[in-house]
């Protein structure tokens, strides 16, 4: 896949290739220029040494001529010095790079110079014994002249040859210079052309890529903003529901505490009822014993009947307490049933227990009414027995039967009250469990409230991020847009992204107060 980075790298690679080519040609030209410059320097050095050699030979010839004319020993010294300088120049010219390849010419030149110097010494020796005229007419004068002319001609040829080499090197340097100029101008023009074309292509590609990316970022930012608004509305609704549910749980908790308190009271009442039922059972036992003794001691009927009346009065009092207990138990069961229905599914078991307690209370009340009716009958019989001892035997038999039934009733009441005690304990345990579950649920709802608050903050942060993305997309679009569009975008920075209006969340209704029976 061809990306902007690949295109940018390709453009720079082409420019680098052109620059490398120009650099390579420049390095080659510089090397040639350096070689030509070194050749020119060597040529100048060779010409200088050649001129010095010719000058030293001329000085030696002048010293020889001066001695021939004046016989001054000072010219011999100058001749010796010139001879030494000629030898030194010959040694130097042999190691000079410009003349190193022309060993044959140097050998011939050295031979001619050596012969000329020998001829100078011979003429000086002749001048020691000959006059000036004799020396002047000597054939060695022509030999000296010829050798000097030949030596000058050779030096001239060598100089001309080296000058031609120097001109060739200069022409080579000129060609190299022109090549460097042509390559530099052509490479610069080509590099500028490549950079311009690459810049245009990259600008077009960057405009397309950044424009598409800006549109995509704008779309994504709008989607993110809309989803953030929906999330914020949902979190607000969740928070409201959590607050309402927390309030409901507070009410359920209070109701559970009341039920637990009422269960404790029912347990205490059940204990009292059990004791009263036991007392009534014992009283019925004593009454039955009394009726048995009544058949043996008819004379004590009146006394026993009086005692029986008192016992019946006490039993009536106990029955009143039992009826009151049954009535309160029934009311408590009704309240418990109401609270269980208000608690919903969580109060299903509690509602079943409350129904059982209500039925038990109604049964106890019905039994108490029956017992009271029987006790009234006993009281009437006792009164009738006191008024008429003559029907004592029949009354004793009837009372004995009634006392047996009353004892059975008291036993039944004791059992029912014991069952009520067990049921109240179960209710108390269930309410404790419900209270513990309510506290746990309240803690969980508190965590839910914190989580919804965090979610709301995250949604707000997402909104800010979406807005920042929208502004970034606007700037990117304006960056790749025309100047007119750029001016319009700068004058209306918020026009690129349309903000979605947040949904109005319904306000949470206040939790209704649960009906409580007092």
Find the farthest-apart pair of alpha carbons in the chain and give their distance in angstroms, rounded: 225
- Answer yes or no: do 198 and 283 share one domain: no
3-state secondary structure string across 39-74: HHHHHHHHHHHHHHHHHHHHHHHHHHHHHHHHCCHH
- Answer yes or no: do 160 and 251 share one domain: no
Greater model confidence, 501 or 327? 327
Cα angle: 469, vertex 474, 477; to 5 degrees: 125
Q: 382, 235 in Cβ contact below 8 A?
A: no
Q: What is the pLDDT of residues 429-449, one digit of tens each?
A: 777 777 777 677 777 778 777
Please say which residue of 439, 464, 485 terminates a domain. 439
Number of residues that this document lists for the chain: 518
Six-digit token string for 313: 């009065």
Whole-angstrom Cα distance, residue 68 to residue 62?
10
Ranges 14-18, 62-66, 390-394: which has the least confidence: 390-394
Residue 381: CB atoms within 10 A of its CB come to: 20
- Answer yes or no: do 154 and 268 share one domain: no
Burial (Cβ within 10 Å: 0-12, 13-18, ≥19) of residue 395: buried
pLDDT at 402 over 80: no
Domain coverage including residue 394: 236-439
- Answer yes or no: do 246 and 391 share one domain: yes
- Please state the rounded mean pLDDT for residues 146-165: 83
Give the pLDDT band (50/70/90) at residue 482: low
Domain containing 163 — which CATH number? 1.20.120.1730
pLDDT of residue 500: 42
**Residue 478 domain-assigned (yes or no):** no
**Residue 472 domain-assigned (yes or no):** no
Q: If you write DSSP's letter for every residue of 452-477 in order, what string do you get?
A: HHHHHHHHHHHHHHHHHHHHHHHHHH
**Residue 298 domain-assigned (yes or no):** yes
Tokens 């039992």 — which residue?
322
Greater model confidence, 70 or 419? 70
- Answer yes or no: do 146 and 258 share one domain: no
* Count: domains in the chain: 2
- Answer yes or no: do 185 and 288 share one domain: no
Tokens 């002048």 — which residue?
62
**Residue 450 domain-assigned (yes or no):** no
Whole-angstrom Cα distance, residue 27 to residue 25?
5
- Answer yes or no: do 425 and 319 share one domain: yes
Q: 83, 53 in Cβ contact below 8 A?
A: no
- Answer yes or no: do 186 and 260 share one domain: no
pLDDT at 509 over 60: no
Between the alpha carbon of residue 464 and those of residues 220, 228, 268, 433, 499, the distances in Å are: 14, 10, 64, 46, 11
Q: 413, 360 in Cβ contact below 8 A?
A: no
Residue 276: CB atoms within 10 A of its CB come to: 22
Question: Cα dihedral sign for 316, 321, 327, 330?
Answer: negative
- Answer yes or no: do 138 and 244 share one domain: no
**Residue 139 domain-assigned (yes or no):** yes
Beta strands in 241-380 (DSSP E): none
Whole-angstrom Cα distance, residue 72 to residue 74?
5
Q: What is residue 87's three-state secondary structure?
A: helix
- Please state the rounded mean pLDDT for residues 201-217: 74
Q: 222, 466 in Cβ contact below 8 A?
A: yes
Assessment of whether the complete model's pTM goes beyond 0.75: no
**Residue 222 domain-assigned (yes or no):** no
Please say which residue of 439, 468, 503 terminates a domain. 439
Domain containing 335 — which CATH number? 1.10.287
- Answer yes or no: do 291 and 428 share one domain: yes
**Residue 213 domain-assigned (yes or no):** no
- Answer yes or no: do 259 and 385 share one domain: yes
**Residue 211 domain-assigned (yes or no):** no
Q: Please report how the helices 140-296 and 301-343 are oriented relative to each other, as an axis angle in degrees rounded to 10.
A: 160
pLDDT at 499 over 70: no
- Answer yes or no: do 105 and 248 share one domain: no
Please say which residue of 162, 184, 206 terminates a domain. 206
Give the pLDDT band (50/70/90) at residue 253: confident
pLDDT of residue 513: 40
């Amino acid at each position: 896949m061809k990306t902007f980075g690949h295109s940018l790298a390709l453009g720079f690679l082409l420019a680098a290739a052109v620059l490398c080519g120009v650099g390579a040609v420049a390095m080659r030209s510089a090397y040639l220029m350096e070689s030509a410059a070194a050749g020119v320097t060597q040529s100048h050095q060779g010409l200088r040494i050649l001129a010095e050699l010719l000058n030293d030979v001329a000085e030696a010839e002048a010293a020889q001529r001066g001695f021939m004319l004046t016989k001054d020993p000072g010219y011999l010294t100058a001749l010796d010095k010139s001879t030494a300088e000629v030898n030194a120049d010959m040694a130097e010219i042999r190691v000079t790079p410009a003349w190193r390849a022309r060993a044959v010419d140097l050998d011939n030149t050295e031979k001619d110079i050596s012969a000329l110097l020998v001829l100078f010494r011979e003429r000086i020796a002749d001048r020691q014994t000959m006059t000036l005229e004799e020396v002047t007419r000597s054939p060695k004068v022509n030999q000296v002249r010829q050798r000097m002319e030949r030596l000058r001609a050779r030096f001239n040829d060598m100089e001309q040859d080296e000058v031609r080499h120097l001109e060739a090197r200069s022409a080579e340097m000129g060609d190299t210079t022109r090549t460097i100029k042509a390559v530099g101008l052509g490479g610069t023009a080509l590099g500028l052309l490549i950079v311009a074309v690459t810049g245009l292509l990259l600008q077009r590609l960057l405009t397309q890529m950044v424009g598409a990316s800006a549109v995509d970022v704008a779309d994504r930012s709008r989607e993110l903003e809309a989803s953030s608004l929906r999330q914020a509305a949902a979190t607000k609704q969740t928070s409201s529901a959590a607050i309402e549910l927390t309030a409901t749980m507070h009410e359920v908790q209070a109701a559970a505490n009341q039920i637990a308190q009422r269960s404790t009271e029912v347990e205490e009442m059940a204990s009292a009822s059990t004791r009263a039922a036991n007392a009534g059972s014992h009283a019925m036992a004593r009454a039955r014993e009394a009726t048995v003794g009544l058949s043996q001691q008819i004379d004590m009927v009146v006394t026993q009947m009086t005692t029986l009346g008192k016992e019946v009065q006490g039993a009536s009092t106990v029955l009143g307490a039992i009826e009151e207990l049954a009535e309160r138990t029934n009311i408590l069961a009704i309240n418990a049933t109401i609270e269980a229905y208000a608690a919903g599914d969580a109060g299903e078991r509690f509602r079943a227990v409350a129904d059982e307690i209500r039925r038990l209370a109604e049964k106890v009340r019905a039994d108490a009414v029956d017992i009271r009716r029987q006790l009234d009958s006993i009281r009437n019989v006792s009164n009738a027995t006191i008024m008429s001892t003559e029907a004592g035997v029949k009354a004793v038999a009837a009372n004995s039967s009634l006392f047996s039934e009353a004892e059975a009733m008291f036993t039944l009441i004791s059992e029912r009250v014991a069952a009520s005690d067990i049921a109240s304990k179960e209710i108390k345990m269930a309410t404790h469990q419900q209270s513990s579950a309510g506290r746990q649920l309240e803690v969980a709802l508190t965590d839910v409230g914190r989580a919804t608050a965090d979610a709301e903050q995250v949604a707000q942060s997402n909104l800010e991020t979406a807005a920042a993305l929208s502004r970034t997309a606007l700037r990117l679009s304006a960056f790749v847009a025309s100047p007119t569009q750029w001016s319009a975008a700068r004058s209306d920075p918020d026009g690129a992204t349309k903000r979605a209006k947040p949904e109005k969340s319904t306000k949470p209704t206040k939790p209704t107060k649960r009906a409580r029976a007092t």
